[in-house]
Amino acid sequence: MTQGAARVQGLDVEAAACLLEDLGRKVEYADEKLEPAYAGAFVARAHLRFAAGWALDDVVSDLWYAGRCYGIDPALHLARHQYEQLLTRRIVPVECGILGGQVDLCKRIAAAYGLPLVTALGGMARVELAAELKTISPALTGKPISHPQHLLGLVAGVYAAALGSAARGYADEVVVALGVIDKVTFRGELSETQKMVLQRYTGLCEAMAVLVGKSRGKLPEILGNAIAVYEKYMSSQLSEAWRCPTAPVRYMDTGVLAVLGLVLLSDFDMGTFPAAGETRQTVLAYSDVFDAMRQGRAEERVAEIDTATLLEAGRKQLDT
């Protein structure tokens, strides 16, 4: 482990160290046996390690472990979290599955946790799914938007659906999910906080549109703006807890990292990240995370090739 200067300005490093020690105890035996219950602790530690200036290999490693924990018993995780907990229930597991850097794992977790909005749009939603979509936002079931929270739930739900479909390689489903946003209108007022949440999720949805060719936007610029909005929102909402954490804080935008993970898994050519001329330090920090992710993906790719070679050799031996 190596640790440099804190990446979050004003972070109380002693408070961070105490929380990191506590999280370390929670995953102490993870190397011996991964458990679904470890996933949250790994995610929390990744965020805190990022904030405290730990080596980014350690940050990416925690997200790698979290992805594998989420893949062990998806049904149990879904049963433990209410429909209202969309982020914890569905979004974070899919993001971590992508950040595991392994194609098969990514698809398996996305199939288990992705929000099947397109299934519902096709009129094939089970009662449980219909109830979940209605809880997230009535607009996801075709109802009009009458409250700001319905609008925010809508864009979060569309992102969750598009992310899951993109992780499975279903570009057509991504396009259908994103199209839901185009069909709704909202004439009410949003608070400044609500505007930031809306801006973040619409930015992530726009990034999804670029990935599947629905938009010609420039992905590095879209992601850079999403990062800046996310930090502004989180730091303004948490204030003291952002600087002196005593409980898990989501310092990184794992949505942005998931998009970058999809770039690596699909070999999408997005150009230079961050965008040329980018000067915002919060955005530049993600460049280093992306480099660590790229290295991790390269190692996983070698492992996939080795496994495929062994399987092919085994098949040939059986044929003879």
Q: 302 lies in a domain?
A: yes
Same domain, 65 and 144: no
Specify the pLDDT at position 35. 84
pTM (2 decimals)?
Answer: 0.91
Q: Number of folded domains in the chain?
A: 2
Instruction: For residue 295, count other CB atoms closer than 10 A to its CB.
Output: 14
Same domain, 97 and 136: no
Specify the pLDDT at position 313. 47
Same domain, 271 and 189: no
Specify the pLDDT at position 303. 59
- Are 156 and 201 in contact by the 8 Å Cβ rule? The answer is yes
Longest CA pairwise span in the chain (Å): 71
Same domain, 3 and 86: yes
Specify the pLDDT at position 226. 95
- Helices 148-167 and 92-99 pack at an angle, to 10 degrees, of 30
Residues in the chain: 320
Q: 47 lies in a domain?
A: yes
Name the residue among 81, 99, 49, 147 with its Cα closest to residue 264.
99
Digit-by-digit pLDDT tens for the chain (320 residues) are 557 789 988 899 999 999 999 999 998 888 778 888 899 999 999 999 999 999 999 999 999 999 999 999 999 999 999 999 999 999 999 999 999 888 999 999 999 999 999 999 988 888 999 999 999 999 999 898 989 999 999 999 999 999 999 999 999 999 999 999 988 888 889 999 999 999 999 999 999 999 999 888 899 999 999 999 999 998 887 778 899 999 999 999 999 999 999 999 999 999 999 988 888 888 888 999 999 898 878 777 665 654 444 444 444 554 55
- Residue 35 CA to its chain's centroid (Å): 20
Q: 227 lies in a domain?
A: no
Same domain, 92 and 121: no
Q: 225 lies in a domain?
A: no
Domain edge (last residue) among 154, 189, 217? 217
Domain edge (last residue) among 172, 190, 217? 217
Same domain, 76 and 160: no
For 152, the domain range is 114-217
Q: Long-range pairs for 46-50 at CB < 8 Å and ≥24 separation?
A: 46/252, 47/248, 47/249, 47/250, 47/251, 47/252, 48/16, 48/19, 48/20, 48/23, 48/245, 48/248, 48/249, 48/251, 49/20, 50/7, 50/251, 50/252, 50/285, 50/289
